[in-house]
Amino acid sequence: MQKRILLLIIICLSACPIGIYAFPQITDSAKVSILYCSPGEEIYELFGHTGLRVCDSSKNIDIVFNYGLFDFNQKDFIMRFVRGKTDYQVGVNMYNDFIYMYESRGSGINECVLDLSPEEKKEIIDYLLWNIKPENCVYRYNFIFNNCATKIRDIIEQSVHGKIIYPSITESISFREAIMQYTKNAAWSQFGFDICLGMGMDRMATERELMFLPENLNLTYAESTVVDSTYNVKNIVSSNEQIIPILREEGKQWFTPTLCGYILLALIIALSVFGYINHKSFKVFDITIFTINGLFGCVILFLILFSQHPFTNDNYNIIWLNPLAFFPLLTLIFKSLKKFKVIYYGFVSIVLTFFLVSMPLIPQFFNDAVVPFTLIYLVRSASHPLYWGYHRNTKKGQNN
């Protein structure tokens, strides 16, 4: 982990604005290519990375324009990230430094050389030189619609003289299904994505939209063509080759959120049965787990109301992770609320039961772990009305 953080710091430090020195006029032999770096292990590496290489051997130029730079020390970085207001910037790495950094983490690197005219190359490089200036290098990052891959796609589209024809999608997939291809061995990360991202993620994505993923950008351009004004058709990529093989071995997490959820559910059921038989309600335990629920509910509510991240609104996970779960904690502070505890737990039991039954009808994908974790809160909620009813009937029997 420390090694990976160090590499990330090196990437940021080694990138510099090219405007600090004169950039020579490139020759017609210069090449512009897309560099795709395969995913790493950390959460910020899961989807890979993309850079735009400019190489002109006759001028000793070989650099990579990198749109994946951000500043950890930026004021209120964490809060800005949660709110979707993170600013990224473009920087320049020497080609050999860029290759070393991603090879060191075990990533493979693929290069798609673009078949461009001298005028198209000039337009791309002129834009990059403008973009790298300190007053232009910062952009508002958006995980889906404005990231390291989409920036490169947009630059190519605006510079190519002709209409780019992207290959047709053989099988439509949603945004969520697209990212799940890269998180299949990172179950906890996928659980986090599924909890925080709402039903918008389940919309079918177009071929162009799917290029928010660096690998899809690479694969799509490798199969794309350009139609010019005279209706001539040519491939937009002249060569496509792997320059660094993948060295990292993929590991799979065995302790998944789903497994964790069902283990906890079994323990909760056993605890609830024990409490029912022995007339124990475990109030402190319930206050603890419902407070945790409320905290996560606040995060989801915040994302729904205030975040600019795409697809965080319309999130039905707010039904089972809800700020109202703070109610048991509030009964410790406000004693007058205790008389409503049974009503509260009964209401929660009904809502969670309805939610579980209705899940197949809700137009949003739910992670498999949602079922056991929801059942945990359903079991503990239902135990209170059951215990209250049993306790009341016992008292009546004693009085009779």
Phi, psi dihedral angles at 166 (to 5 degrees)? -85, 145
SS3 of 41, please?
A: coil
Question: pLDDT (tens digit, 9 = 90+) per residue, 55-75?
Answer: 999 999 999 999 999 877 777
State the Cα angle at 202 between 198 and 204, rounded to 5°: 145
**Structure confidence at residue 10 as a pLDDT band (50, 70, 90):** very low
Rg (CA), the chain: 27
Q: Which residue has the tokens 């059921």?
A: 269
pTM of structure:
0.87
Specify the range with the lowest mean pLDDT, choosing from 25-34, 65-74, 269-278, 365-374: 65-74
Contact 311, 193 (CB under 8 A): no
* Better-scored residue on pLDDT, 20 or 239: 239
Amino acid of residue 68:
G
Question: Per-residue pLDDT averaged across 155-174, rounded?
Answer: 93
CB-based contacts of 20, cutoff 8 Å, min separation 6: none
Strands 49-56 and 61-70, bridge-based pairing? antiparallel
Question: pLDDT (tens digit, 9 = 90+) per residue, 358-370?
Answer: 999 999 999 999 9
Assess whether pLDDT exceeds 60 at residue 115: yes
Contact 280, 380 (CB under 8 A): no
pLDDT at res. 19: 45
pLDDT at res. 71: 76
CB atoms within 10 A of CB 1: 7
Question: pLDDT (tens digit, 9 = 90+) per residue, 211-259?
Answer: 999 999 999 999 999 998 888 999 999 999 999 997 766 667 889 999 9
pLDDT at res. 389: 53
Assess whether pLDDT exceeds 90 at residue 276: no
CB-based contacts of 92, cutoff 8 Å, min separation 6: 15, 16, 17, 18, 63, 64, 65, 66, 132
SS3 of 398, please?
A: helix
The DSSP symbol for 321 reads S
**Structure confidence at residue 16 as a pLDDT band (50, 70, 90):** low
Assess whether pLDDT exceeds 90 at residue 202: yes
First to last CA, the chain: 67
Strands 87-94 and 138-140, bridge-based pairing? antiparallel
DSSP 175-212: HHHHHHHHHTT-HHHHHHHHHHS-GGGGSBPPTTGGGG
* Better-scored residue on pLDDT, 171 or 311: 311
Strands 109-114 and 237-244, bridge-based pairing? antiparallel
pLDDT at res. 14: 46
Tell me the HSE value of 112 on the side-chain side, using a 13 A CA sphere.
25
pLDDT at res. 25: 80
* Better-scored residue on pLDDT, 326 or 11: 326
Q: Where are the alpha helices (DSSP H) in the chain?
A: 2-14, 77-82, 95-104, 118-131, 148-159, 175-183, 187-196, 214-222, 257-277, 283-306, 327-333, 341-358, 370-399
Contacts 24+ apart (CB under 8 A), 300-306: 300/195, 300/196, 302/82, 303/82, 303/196, 304/198, 306/83
State the Cα angle at 190 between 301 and 304, rounded to 5°: 15
* Better-scored residue on pLDDT, 15 or 78: 78
Question: Per-residue pLDDT averaged across 175-204, rounded?
Answer: 95
Q: What percent of the chain has pLDDT over 70?
A: 90
| Separation of alpha carbons 250 and 240, rounded Å | 24
Question: pLDDT (tens digit, 9 = 90+) per residue, 71-92?
Answer: 777 777 777 877 888 899 999 9
Question: Per-residue pLDDT averaged across 173-191, rounded?
Answer: 95
| Separation of alpha carbons 173 and 179, rounded Å | 10
| Separation of alpha carbons 48 and 182, rounded Å | 9
**Structure confidence at residue 112 as a pLDDT band (50, 70, 90):** very high
Average pLDDT, the chain: 89
Assess whether pLDDT exceeds 50 at residue 270: yes
Q: Which residue has the tokens 């997939």?
A: 173
Assess whether pLDDT exceeds 50 at residue 3: no
Q: Which residues pair with 37 in a beta bridge?
A: 49, 109
SS3 of 26, please?
A: coil
| Separation of alpha carbons 177 and 266, rounded Å | 30
